[in-house]
């Protein structure tokens, strides 16, 4: 039984050495970049307008002097038109953020009243960036244990690293009599 186990020991040492040389010959691993999640949140704020009382002012007065008076002028129609109230509404679209409505009332060649309403929504864009530097990670590997002349343990192991950088290991293997061996390990980070 010992000669069989020594042959298995030699074979396992050769396989582990080949795996070690294979990993060394591969290109060096690139550093792990932190996982970044970017969320874009767009919120629209309504702009309130302050209403002020509009007082019309003369800017320019143009007088036209007629040297002849045309026939067929209806003075009553002109006076009726002069005293009528005309309502005008103008809607102005402001880019893509909304619109404004200006309503004027005109009578006797002056602006009697003016009303202004707007619906302007200004977007506020918020970028929320979440960076995960220390994620939970799993590692696996092979383990051997023994002295220079005798192999005591051979098996596979799992290692779990938490976000708080603590590590927990679990292993299963066989000893030199081929009895199952279980192992458990705990690791704490020494430097901060």
pLDDT at 43: 81
Q: By mean pLDDT, which of 15-29, 30-44, 88-102 is the weakest?
A: 15-29
Q: Give me Rg for the CA atoms of the chain.
A: 44
Strand, helix or coil for residue 5: helix
**pLDDT tens figures, 145-160:** 877 777 788 888 999 9
DSSP-derived secondary structure for 62-115? -----SS--S---HHHHHHHHHS-EEEEEEEEETTTEEEEEEEEEETTEEEEEE
143: exposed, middle or buried (C-beta count within 10 Å: 0-12, 13-18, 19+)?
A: middle
pLDDT value at 67 more than 70: yes
**pLDDT tens figures, 82-94:** 999 999 999 988 8
DSSP single-letter state for residue 178: -
Section 160-166 average pLDDT: 82
Q: Which residue has the higher pLDDT, 178 or 18?
A: 178
Q: Which residue has the higher pLDDT, 66 or 158?
A: 158
Cα–Cα distance for residue pair 95/118, rounded to 1 Å: 13
pLDDT value at 2 more than 70: no
Section 46-75 average pLDDT: 73
Mean pLDDT, all residues of the chain: 79
Phi-psi region of 28 (alpha: psi -120 to 50; beta: other; left: phi over 0): beta
What residues pair up with 158 in beta bridges, in sequence order? 140, 170
pLDDT at 129: 82
Pairing of strands 110-132, 137-146: unpaired
Cα torsion 15, 184, 172, 154: sign: positive
pLDDT at 83: 92
């Amino acid at each position: 039984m010992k000669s069989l186990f020594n042959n298995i020991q030699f074979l396992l040492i050769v396989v582990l050495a080949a795996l070690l040389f294979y990993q060394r010959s591969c290109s060096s691993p690139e550093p792990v970049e932190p996982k970044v999640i970017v969320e874009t949140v767009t919120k629209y704020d309504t702009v309130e307008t302050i209403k002020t009382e509009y007082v019309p002012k003369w800017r320019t007065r143009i007088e036209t002097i007629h040297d002849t008076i045309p026939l067929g002028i209806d003075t009553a129609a002109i006076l009726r038109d002069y005293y009528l109230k005309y309502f005008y509404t103008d809607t102005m679209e402001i880019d893509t953020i909304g619109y404004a409505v200006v309503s004027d009332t005109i009578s006797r060649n002056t602006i009697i009243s003016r009303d202004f309403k707007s619906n302007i929504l200004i977007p506020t864009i918020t970028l929320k960036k979440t960076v995960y530097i220390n994620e939970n990670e799993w590692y696996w590997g092979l383990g051997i244990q023994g002295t220079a002349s005798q192999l005591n343990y051979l098996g596979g192991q799992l290692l779990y690293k938490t976000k708080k950088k603590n590590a927990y290991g679990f292993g299963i293997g066989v000893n030199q009599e081929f009895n199952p061996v279980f192992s458990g390990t705990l690791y704490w980070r020494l430097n901060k």
